[in-house]
Amino acid sequence: MKNSIFITILFALHLAMFSCKDTLKKQEQETVNSLQDSSLTYLAYSPKPTDRVISRSDYADKLYGFWLAECIANWTGLVTEMDKVGNIGETKTGKFYTREDWGTPDLPNIWSGDKPSNLSETIDFVFRGEDEIWGADDDTDVEYMYQHLLYTNKTLVLNGEQIRDGWLKHMKHEEENYLWVANQRALELMLEGIVPPETSDPEISKDSIYDNYHEMIDAQLTTEIFGLFAPSRPDVALKMAKMPIQTTARENAQWISEFYVIMYSLASYVDENLSMKEQTQWMATEARKRLPESSYAAKMYDFVKSRYNANVPWEQARDDIYTRYQVNQEDGYNITSKNMFCNGCFVGGINYAASIVSLLYGEGDLKETIKIGVLSGWDSDNPTATWGGLLGFMYGKEGVEKAFGRKFSDKFNIHRTRVNFPNNGMDNFTHMAKTGVYIVDRVVQEEMGGGIDLDKDAWYIPSIDLNIEPGN
């Protein structure tokens, strides 16, 4: 009798185990099957032994991590945005923040009078709980728009007219539109009939306020995502990003933006057996090749890297770039001589140098990188969003949640800053990631000459030798 009961129990456990496996397999297959773009014809493809194989569902998880961590970093960086820009000209903000300032009361920024940030009374992470909604900001909304334009136009390379039409449809024209400096100037020119890339032409874009809109930070925070649309192929990523970058940027600001695009693309190429520190530093070394040797962008990177290699604290490295580039105007960085508002605190160059501080000293740690970026000064939400997005992609959704020890909202309101999107502007990271996968499907098949296997949930990307050349 006992043996009979024992056998019955074993049989029940055996059935339960197989049932559980079948359920998991069914769930995995449903996830795979859900990643199929009804607007794309998937062509037969014979994989080659040298192809790079990437899981599409894993990539969707990484894209989720990108959007989530970029939002965390963006909103956290906004707490200290323009709190500390130095002491040159009429705008003086005292000593820069240090590590000891994390968790202390936030100080007013250059616009807020005596009022600190309304996002957080202290310098700390800004989160949105599971029942809340992430709002779009200028570090996420233009990237969202470019993803939407690529998918709805069923194209890989946006032309000037498509970008102009997208901007005019999705940007408010007169009331508060969350555009500043070069982005705002580009919109004004589009309203006058100018089409990208002429919107960044220094001779066309200059006005009575600035003669160097093309040097501003704008493209650095609106185009990194193109690297994610071309996994492991920075050559394709640069081709896709060229027109969006040149909508607002030329020369150093363009090369800096391309640096970020390359790093994002290389996140799918780097050896994942390396530590996160080694991965990010290898990616940066490769992306550095894009910066022309004579550019101030290249010299800024090399200077920050030299301070990092010398083991000076990150605060000292940050203070050193302030002295070198804003006080002494070395390496051809002459923004101080232009007597700009806040000494050009929104110019691409100084914010790029600050971003390299947080990248190198953060050493691939998501929270540490964001903290250093937040405390580094200038337009602090922009570098933090850039590296938050990159590391969030590398960590994936669960990795981001594990890093912070909590769950987050997946809801995103693009209509906080932009207009005329479906569903009254409400979206979620899962859907946004799925759209990104569909764009990559088209890129792999039509631009890279690779293939997609829906049954195996895989991209087959023809391998190439990296050959990153200086920009021109």
**Confidence bin at 174 (pLDDT 50/70/90):** confident
The pLDDT tens digits for 151-173 are 999 999 999 999 999 999 999 99
CA 266 – CA 230 distance, rounded (Å) = 9
The pLDDT tens digits for 209-224 are 999 999 999 999 999 9
The pLDDT tens digits for 231-243 are 999 999 999 999 9
The pLDDT tens digits for 63-75 are 999 999 999 999 9
Q: What is the model's pLDDT at position 344?
A: 97
Residues near 156 by beta carbon (within 8 Å), at least 6 away in sequence = 150, 240, 442, 443, 446, 447
Burial 108-119 (b: 16+ CB within 10 A, else e): ebbeeeeebbee
The pLDDT tens digits for 402-455 are 999 999 999 999 999 999 999 999 999 999 999 999 999 999 999 999 999 999
Q: What is the model's pLDDT at position 8?
A: 55
Mean pLDDT over residues 174-200, rounded? 97
Q: How many CB atoms lie within 10 A of CB 244?
A: 28
Q: What is the model's pLDDT at position 12?
A: 54
CA 350 – CA 362 distance, rounded (Å) = 18
Residues near 224 by beta carbon (within 8 Å), at least 6 away in sequence = 143, 257, 260, 261, 263, 264, 386, 389, 390
**Confidence bin at 18 (pLDDT 50/70/90):** low
Backbone angles phi, psi at 91, to 5 degrees: -95, 110
Q: What is the model's pLDDT at position 30?
A: 47
- pLDDT value at 21 more than 90: no
What mean pLDDT, rounded, does the chain reach? Answer: 94
How many CA atoms, within 13 angstroms, populate the side-chain half-sphere of residue 88? Answer: 21
Query: pTM of the full predicted structure?
Result: 0.93
Spacing of C-alpha 261 from chain mean position: 8
Mean pLDDT over residues 261-284, rounded? 98
- pLDDT value at 27 more than 90: no
Mean pLDDT over residues 352-377, rounded? 98
- pLDDT value at 23 more than 70: no
Residues near 334 by beta carbon (within 8 Å), at least 6 away in sequence = none
The pair of structure tokens assigned to 393 is: 């992609």
Name 426's bridge partners. 413
Tell me what percent of the residues of the chain surpass a pLDDT of 90: 92
- Block residue for tokens 């004004």: 188
Q: What is the model's pLDDT at position 34?
A: 83
- pLDDT value at 304 more than 50: yes
Q: What is the model's pLDDT at position 28?
A: 46
SS3 453: strand
